[in-house]
Chains A and B, each alone.
Chain A
Amino acid sequence: MYAQEVKSTGKGVLSLEEMDPVERAFQEKVNAGVKIEPKDWMPEGYRKTLIRQISQHAHSEIVGQLPEGNWITRAPTLERKAILIAKVQDEAGHGLYLYCAAETLGVSRDQMTEQLLSGKAKYSSIFNYPTLTWADIGAIGWLVDGAAIMNQVPLQRCSFGPYSRAMIRVCKEESFHQRQGYDIMMKLCAGTLDQKAMAQDALDRWWWPSLMMFGPSDAQSVHSAQSLAWKIKQDTNDELRQKFVDQTVPQAKYLGLSVPDPDLKWNEEKGGHDFGEVDWEEFFQVVSGNGPCNADRMAARRKAWSDGEWFRDALMAHAEKHSADKVAAE
């Protein structure tokens, strides 16, 4: 997930006949399902699109630590605390593999961090919403990780080898995350009236932002076609959103919660749910920096980075001193 607004070169998709021989050979490899590896030739647009997509994904994992981290110190039991720490740790780990995957394309982690902190690089809009109650930790696991899995399962088949392999590992962990979220929701829904109200309130607040995670509607998404041709993407945003709604609605029903969409109904003919329109104005506002927590999230990341500068510098200073010692000894 986590890469909602990936702008590719926008040249439009060329047919095989229109391509020069090198690009054509590349496209034929992609079409045949052969993975592209870092040292292989690739079109500049492919490289740039992947760098943007993988780094947005990595940044989302990093910023994504914050809303859930907000509840680590207040988790209600020792077991819940341990599970939440492990989950947030997994997210940091995902960030790490994804930065490594992006580095194979010729960009450094420091450069990517700089792009995040300067506001140039984006991360998923979902993490700009606040976690107000413990039920939000359940809702994030259930809905946000659920949406992430929906997006990431097809990415395991992405044409770029390192991204595809990173996704295989990430998806395994995400499905554990989703189960833990749903487990929190089940416990709340089987609990006191206050707990059930907390669960409903969390669903009310996280439902629409979760649908936004799939990105703009296909009609508005100008870059989908090229990414599909390159097999960076396998399904359109709307297809994934539909799948997510169809999967999630019965889960809400099982919990005894109602999905906050008056237009939601089963459509027998299409074999899926009809549902209301996402508020795209809200989405674009959040993506462009005006969500409820954008400023706080960025401030937290900048603070971590600037407060940690002395630590990073000191480790370098120590290494330099001691490599000088070694040289002197030799």
Chain B
Amino acid sequence: MADNPTVEFALRMGDNCLVLGQNVSAWCGHAPVLEEDIALANVALDLIGQTRMWLGLAGELEGKGRSADDLAFLRDVREFRNCLLVEQPNSDFGQTLMRQFLFDAWHHPMLKMLSGAADARVAEIAEKSVKEAAYHLDRSTDLIIRLGDGSDESHHRMQGALDRLWRYSGELMAADAIDEAVVGPGLGDIEAQYKDYTSKVFGEATLTIPEAAFMQKGGKVGLHTEALGHMLADMQFLQRSYPGAQW
């Protein structure tokens, strides 16, 4: 898409935040308990805030005059660079939390590493975001443990969610030349940390990682699942229906 790997990398980070934030925000008013409505709104707000920083950076470095909003609301599915995990539909609350945990367990160490990135702009955004990601990870870890090791029904639901979503976790770690160019040599550490952390948490949650899962990928290069197109149709409706209008 662009010669500068940072543009592509910022799109990946920004699109992850945007697509997950958009999904999470749809829970507002529909969560199982009032405290969860409030907490999920917080997570969504953090992610939308991070989106604005990453897509703002991508637009600026790309140099075609596109703003963060242009990138969010005027690209089609094939131009989105988020991983497949975050675009998986909300489904039940258990799947929503499992998706969040599988993402947070990667997002937090990734941002931590990026805080020391060679590119000062990247490092600055990562530093601003890492505290939020630490809170997200604390929260999702706690809930995964309590629900996995809760009632029979919650255990069953969480195991089902892990069985369904684990196949999308591999893509987070599947680094390519763009990731390597921006993140540097530490990428392997993130994968190791991810494995350690998720194994420990799933152990405590009495959940079993599916052994023979075939890891899906494609999001980073714009090959998505069908869910993303529907999300974009909803999210981009006003910008597409009233071209050029200011809101």
Contacts and interface: CB of A to CB of B under 8 A. Distances in A.
Interface of A: 62, 65-66, 69, 72-82, 85-86, 88-89, 92-93, 95-96, 99, 134, 184, 187-188, 191-192, 194-195, 300, 303-305, 307-315, 317-318, 321
Interface in B1-59: 18, 22, 25-26, 28-38, 41-42, 44-45, 48-49, 51-52, 55
Interface string B68-79: 110011000000
Contacts of B150: 313-315, 317-318, 321
Contacts of A134: 238, 247
Contact of B48 (A85, A93, A305): A85
Interface of B: 18, 22, 25-26, 28-38, 41-42, 44-45, 48-49, 51-52, 55, 68-69, 72-73, 92-94, 145-147, 149-151, 153-154, 157, 234-235, 237-239, 242, 245-247
Nearest to A309: B32
A222 B135 CA distance: 51
Contacts of A72: 25-26, 28
Nearest to A72: B25
Contacts of A99: 34
B236 to A, nearest CB: 9
Contact of A191 (B52, B92, B246): B246
Contact of B246 (A78, A93, A187, A303): A187
A92 B68 contact: no
Contact of A308 (B33, B52, B153, B235): B33
A308 B31 contact: yes
Contacts of A85: 25, 28, 41, 44-45, 48
B13 to A, nearest CB: 15
B245 A73 contact: no
19 contacts: A65-B37, A76-B239, A76-B245, A78-B51, A79-B69, A85-B45, A89-B38, A96-B34, A300-B29, A305-B32, A310-B154, A311-B94, A313-B153, A314-B146, A314-B151, A314-B153, A317-B154, A318-B150, A321-B150
Contacts of A89: 28, 37-38, 41-42, 45
Contacts of B72: 78
Contacts of B69: 77-79
B234 A74 contact: yes
A260 B238 CA distance: 26
Nearest to B205: A318
Given A76-B238, A80-B247, A89-B41, A315 B34 contact: no
A318 B158 CA distance: 14
A191 B41 CA distance: 30
Given A88-B28, A89-B28, A195-B242, A312 B38 contact: no
A311 B69 CA distance: 36
Contacts of B237: 74
B30 A300 contact: yes
Nearest to B41: A89
Given A73-B26, A74-B234, A318-B147, A307 B154 contact: no
Given A78-B69, A92-B34, A92-B38, A311 B245 contact: no
Contacts of B93: 307-308, 311
A232 to B, nearest CB: 25
A304 B29 contact: yes
- Chain B CB count within 10 A is highest, among A72, A79, A195, for A72
Contacts of A307: 32, 92-93
B147 A311 contact: yes
B244 to A, nearest CB: 8
Contacts of B146: 314-315, 318
B48 A304 contact: no
Given A314-B153, A317-B151, A93 B38 contact: yes
Contacts of B51: 78
